[in-house]
Amino acid sequence: MRRAGRVLLLAAIVAVLIGVLELLHVSAATLIGALAGALIFSLILRQELRFPEPLYLIGQALLGASIGASIDLDTLRSIGGDWPVVLLVSVATILGSVVLGLMLSARGTITRETAVFSSVPGGASGLTVMSRDLGADDRVVTVLQYLRVVIIVASLPFIVNLVFHPSESGSSARIASTEHLVPALGFTAVSVAVGLLVGRFARLPAGGVFGPMLVAAIVHGWFGAVGVPNALQQAAFVLIGLSVGLRFTRAAFATIRSLLPLALLNIVIVMIMCAALGAWLAHVTDLSPLDGYLATTPGGFSAVLAIATTTGGDLTFVTAAQLVRLLMILAGAPIFAWFLRRR
């Protein structure tokens, strides 16, 4: 099959899968659809197609700019006097998941870096694009990270209704005004272009993500209340999913398949651990048990905020707590990767 034909075939498969996942309201449907389509293309249809590395870098940069646009000091300040407890819970979650990750690597099937980045909850998209630069197998990291996200998002509404019985209807989420396209594109262009240069010349670890993220956080206010347009965010997820999926081999899939029983056990333990930490967080603060649970849920950020909004929860606190853990994970990943390599 000619290259153009393979490209069209891959595009058709990915489009159908993304459409089905969107209809099913699956979290991160674009990335999962692109990844699944690439896997079908490579493993089932046994077709090969080399993904251009510059497109992968652009996908990284767009994701970094999206994360940087969400960094808001006012949101972090909203934690108030409870920030030591939130930090403690975040650290405990990360350390617990690191230990579980090291246990996952004990069989020697995957490296410690791969196992740890596959187990740490939160920041699935960021860790996925950073993992290869930090010495991990991003194919394994992507599948295991989003396996956890899918399980959490699918189970979250049932857990909330069966365990917490929310009685408040909550306030409807405010619909933000449509972004002005020109300022949004200007913000994105500056964040991506300058960020990639900063990441390259400053030799930042995972500079394709961190450079644009830092620049976006700095220049965000200059362009008004805008961020990366949604179409470009979705394009970034497609690029990332395709770049990872097209590198899958049958040997890599066999490695992941052998890890699935332990990986599922890992996910269940992380969910239970986070639920326990959420109960303790609610106990030592003025949060409701539901807010404590949502603030510590290990993944499915958008679904968590949707539940918090519709149940009358403390949306600001939940957002801030999730954001603190996300920033700690993204900032600490290069340091921890360096520590593992040194050992």
DSSP secondary structure string for all residues of 100-156: HHHHHTTTSSS-HHHHHHHHS-S-HHHHHHHHTTTTS-HHHHHHHHHHHHHHHHHHH
C-alpha neighbours within 13 Å on the C-beta side of residue 226: 20
Distance of CA 28 to the CA centre of its chain: 9
Lowest-pLDDT range of 109-118, 203-212, 264-273: 203-212
Residues 6+ apart with CB under 8 A from 264: 147
pLDDT tens digit sequence for 155-181:
877 788 788 876 554 444 433 444 478
| pLDDT-wise least confident of 128-132, 194-198, 303-307 | 303-307
pTM for the predicted model, two decimal places: 0.70
- The predicted-structure confidence for 74-104, as pLDDT tens digits, reads as follows 666 767 778 899 999 999 999 999 899 888 8
Highest mean pLDDT pick, 103-112, 120-129, 189-198: 189-198
Tell the residue number behind the tokens 């187990």, with chain if given: 119
Q: Say what percent of the chain tops pLDDT 70.
A: 84
> Please, which pLDDT band fits residue 329 given cuts at 50, 70 and 90?
confident
| CA-atom Rg of the chain in angstroms | 20
d(CA 117, CA 339): 14
Confidence of residue 132 (pLDDT cuts 50, 70, 90): confident
